[in-house]
Amino acid sequence: MKTNKPVCVTGASGFIAAHIVRELLERGYRVRGTVRKKAENYPFLLSLPGAAERLELVQADLLAAGSYDRAVEGCDYVMHTASPYKNKVKNPQTDLVDPAVNGTETVLESCIKSGTVKRVILTSSIAAITDEPDSTKVFTEKDWNTMSSLDRNPYHFSKTVAELAAWDFIMKQRPAFDLVVINPFMVIGSSLGPSLNTSNEMVRDIMIGVYPGIVDINWGFVDVRDVAKAHVLAMETDTASGRYLCSAEAMHMRELVALLKSAGFEGYALPKINLTGKAGTVLMKALSFTQPKNIGMYIRTTIGRTMRYDNAKIRRELGISFKPVKESLIETVNDMIKWGHLPPQKK
CATH number, domain of 50, equals 3.40.50.720
For residues 236-253, give the mean pLDDT. Answer: 97
The terminus-to-terminus CA distance of the chain in angstroms comes to: 50
Give which of 154, 253, 141, 242 is closest to 207, Cα–Cα: 253
How far is the C-alpha of 215 from the C-alpha of 220, rounded, in Å?
A: 16
Residue pLDDT, tens place only, 150-161? 989 888 999 999
Residue 106 located in a structural domain: yes
Write out the DSSP string of 47-80.
TSTTHHHHEEEEE--TTSTTTTHHHHTT-SEEEE
What domain range is 37 assigned to? 7-189+220-248+307-323
Has residue 199 got a pLDDT over 80?
yes
For residues 132-156, give the mean pLDDT. Answer: 93
Please identify every residue annotated as catalytic.
159
Nearest-Å Rg of the Cα atoms of the chain is: 20
Helices and strands (H and E) in the chain: how many = 14, 12
Has residue 43 got a pLDDT over 80?
yes
Residue 149 located in a structural domain: yes
| Kind of pairing between the strands at 178-184 and 242-246 | parallel
The pLDDT value given to residue 62: 83
Label residue 308 left, alpha or beta by phi (over 0 means left) and psi (-120 to 50 means alpha). Answer: beta
Higher pLDDT, 82 or 215: 215
Interhelix angle 325-339/253-260, nearest 10 degrees: 60
Give which of 203, 208, 296, 217 is closest to 250, Cα–Cα: 217
Residue 231 located in a structural domain: yes
Has residue 140 got a pLDDT over 70?
yes
| Backbone phi, psi, residue 231, to 5° | -65, -45
Lowest mean pLDDT among 87-96, 201-210, 248-257: 87-96
How far is the C-alpha of 197 from the C-alpha of 248, rounded, in Å?
A: 18
The pLDDT value given to residue 229: 98
Residue pLDDT, tens place only, 59-111? 998 888 899 999 999 999 999 998 766 556 678 898 889 888 999 999 999 99
Q: How many domains does the chain have?
A: 1
Average pLDDT, the chain: 93
The pLDDT value given to residue 119: 98
CB 48 within 8 A of CB 20: no
Residue 154 located in a structural domain: yes
Write out the DSSP string of 63-128.
TSTTTTHHHHTT-SEEEE------S--S-HIIIIIHHHHHHHHHHHHHHHHHS---EEEEE--GGG
Q: What is the CB neighbour count within 10 angstroms for residue 62?
A: 22
Higher pLDDT, 88 or 178: 178
- Whole-model pTM: value is 0.95
Residue pLDDT, tens place only, 291-347? 877 778 888 888 999 999 999 999 999 999 999 999 999 999 999 999 999 998 876
For residues 245-265, give the mean pLDDT. Answer: 96
How far is the C-alpha of 12 from the C-alpha of 90, rounded, in Å?
A: 26
